[in-house]
Structures are given as structure tokens and as C-alpha cells.
């Protein structure tokens, strides 16, 4: 049930796996959780419609 994951900031650690197993379905294994701010530009641009210049001005 426990498996190792690697995080670029935190290093290697164990996490709890999915407890239910299926015969014909595999749960995709996530490599790591997103880092804070990793998808900020995508959200601001795609979901909120901000231009690249408007996003740069926020920083």
C-alpha cells in the first residue's frame, strides 16, 4: 500500500497508495504533486483570460 515518490523540493518519501485494486483497471501513478505556483500562469491565462503582459505585471 505504501510506495515511494520523489519531490524536487522535499526529496523521497512514502505515500499511501490507492487501497482498492481492480482486475481490469490500473490507477495511474502520479509522479509528484504540483509545486506552489506551478500552474499559476495557465490558470490566470486560460481560466481568467489574462494576457501574458497582465500576468507579468502581477509579479
Q: Where are the domains of the chain?
A: 35-59
The pTM (predicted TM-score) of the whole model is: 0.47
Segment 15-25, tens digit of pLDDT: 887 777 777 87
Segment 1-41, tens digit of pLDDT: 787 888 888 888 888 877 777 778 776 666 667 788 889 99
CA dist., res. 32 & res. 11, Å (int): 10
Amino acid at each position: 500500500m505504501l510506495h515511494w515518490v520523489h519531490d524536487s523540493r522535499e526529496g523521497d518519501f512514502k505515500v499511501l497508495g490507492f487501497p482498492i485494486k481492480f482486475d481490469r483497471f490500473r490507477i495511474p501513478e502520479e509522479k509528484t504533486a504540483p509545486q506552489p505556483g506551478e500552474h499559476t500562469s495557465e490558470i490566470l491565462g486560460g481560466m481568467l483570460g489574462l494576457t501574458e503582459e497582465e500576468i507579468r505585471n502581477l509579479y
